[in-house]
Amino acid sequence: MSRIDVLNGNKAAAWGAALSRPDVIAAYPITPQTPLVEYLTQFVADKELDCVMSEVESEHSAMSVLTGASLAGSRTFTATSSQGLALMYEPYFRAATLRLPVVMAIVNREMISPQTVWGGPQDSLTLRDAGWIQIYCEDNQEILDMIIQAYKIGEDPRVLLPVNICYDGFYLSHLSERVEIPPAKLVDNFLPPYQPKHIKLDPQKPMAVDPLTTGDLLMDYRQKHLRAQQNALEVLKEVTIAFQQQFGRDYFGAVEEYRLEDAEIVLVSLGSMTGAIRDAVDLKREQGVKVGLLKIRLLRPFPLLDVQKALGNKKIVGVIDRNVSFGHNSGILYQEIRGALFGLAKPPNVKPFIGGLGGEDLRVDDFGKVIDQLKDNIDGMPVPYWILRKKR
């Protein structure tokens, strides 16, 4: 029997990590770190979780410790946010290119300047091309469930890649919801211990790690890495089904469609804003507007075919970004969606929306206005359209 509790996103993530039985956790405990690491430390102190807890002096060291631990065959977990992720950039890339299935929660927080601690996925979206798998969550139950699934996906021999479980700072990390905590036995059954075959450090058998490698061989490793990313699309589908069968909760794979069948206007979302968009879609449907929602769960690997299938025959698509792509006059998700739909026979008219930066609220009525704009005056809309609540 699952235990039902009221948990904030960080506590849900801590439960997801603890149930996955990591061997080593290494994390920097101070801002921009969230209480997630504090919860895990408490689990270890209370002997509820049997693992090595390494409190390191920086995020760079956290990922470096986990690189070594994962090379030695451990299941590993860490978490970070914003500037911490930025400091981790070098070992972040290396964990992916060494094909180490580390799982890291990224509590999405806005990047400075100016000084900010509030939510927004600018931090992890900026690092979307560093070789990791990136999954974005809508609610606290999804955080817990996806951390368990992240190990299953990342450790699959067809994949062998590190996985980020990303969720919006404060909107999920610090707000509480009803969460089901599955029994440990069920998770153990779903997630057997990690047994790497591609790498394993062994003092009895000295070996080289990362020798200087020329371009022709480096391209060979990159080709394998790209293939592994593509394999992850299929593996995620399998894991979604297996999880649904054993735990009873369906996450629909790489994207989730909401009221899309006959929709003419579609909003595309990422992360915690999705709930408000669902409500806005329901309200507009009551007024007879044919509107739907596509929630992107998996950003890397990018589910190209799923997006084409969901949006290819629609008229109008509005992409809501809680981030910016400097130099492109839009958000990052907008470009991903626009790129996926380019070249289709009759691609939809795709428009960029930006809002909610620095943790600003994105409310149901904001999305109502977005839908009105797309429906009534798509040609007259500013590009990008900024969702602003206060007049400056």
Which positions lie near other proteins, rule CB under 8 A?
71, 97-99, 160, 198-199, 205-211, 213-214, 216-217, 220-221, 224
Of 101 and 292, which has the nearer Cβ to other proteins?
A: 101
- State whether residue 215 is helix, strand or coil: helix
Of 58 and 213, which has the nearer Cβ to other proteins?
A: 213
| Residue of 250, 300, 297, 239 lying closest to 272 (CA atoms) | 297
| Residue of 118, 255, 258, 249 lying closest to 186 (CA atoms) | 249
Of 96 and 294, which has the nearer Cβ to other proteins?
A: 96
Q: Minimal distance in Å, beta carbon 98 to other proteins? A: 5
Q: Which two tokens stand for residue 308?
A: 């084409």
Q: Minimal distance in Å, beta carbon 209 to other proteins? A: 5
Of 99 and 295, which has the nearer Cβ to other proteins?
A: 99
With 0-12 CB in 10 A as exposed, 13-18 as middle and 19+ as buried, what is 201? middle
Of 221 and 386, which has the nearer Cβ to other proteins?
A: 221
Type of residue at 64: S
| Interacting residues of 365 by C-beta distance below 8 A, sequence separation 6+ | 280
Of 198 and 390, which has the nearer Cβ to other proteins?
A: 198
Q: Minimal distance in Å, beta carbon 178 to other proteins? A: 41
Of 210 and 261, which has the nearer Cβ to other proteins?
A: 210
Of 198 and 346, which has the nearer Cβ to other proteins?
A: 198
Q: Minimal distance in Å, beta carbon 330 to other proteins? A: 36
Beta carbons within 10 angstroms of residue 80's beta carbon: 29
Q: Minimal distance in Å, beta carbon 228 to other proteins? A: 9
Q: Minimal distance in Å, beta carbon 216 to other proteins? A: 7
Q: Minimal distance in Å, beta carbon 157 to other proteins? A: 9
Q: Minimal distance in Å, beta carbon 242 to other proteins? A: 24
Q: Minimal distance in Å, beta carbon 212 to other proteins? A: 8
Measuring CA to CA, how many Å separate 289 from each of 133, 258, 310, 313? Answer: 36, 14, 18, 17
Q: Minimal distance in Å, beta carbon 66 to other proteins? A: 15
Of 1 and 208, which has the nearer Cβ to other proteins?
A: 208
Measuring CA to CA, how many Å separate 27 from each of 33, 148, 166, 171? Answer: 8, 19, 16, 22
DSSP codes, 112-160: PSSP--SB-THHHHHTTTSS-EEEE-SSHHHHHHHHHHHHHHHTSTTT-
Measuring CA to CA, how many Å separate 64 from each of 26, 58, 98? Answer: 9, 10, 12
Type of residue at 87: L
Of 45 and 218, which has the nearer Cβ to other proteins?
A: 218
With 0-12 CB in 10 A as exposed, 13-18 as middle and 19+ as buried, what is 53? middle
Cβ 364 vs Cβ 279: under 8 Å: yes
For CA atoms 64, 65, 66, 69, the dihedral sign is: positive
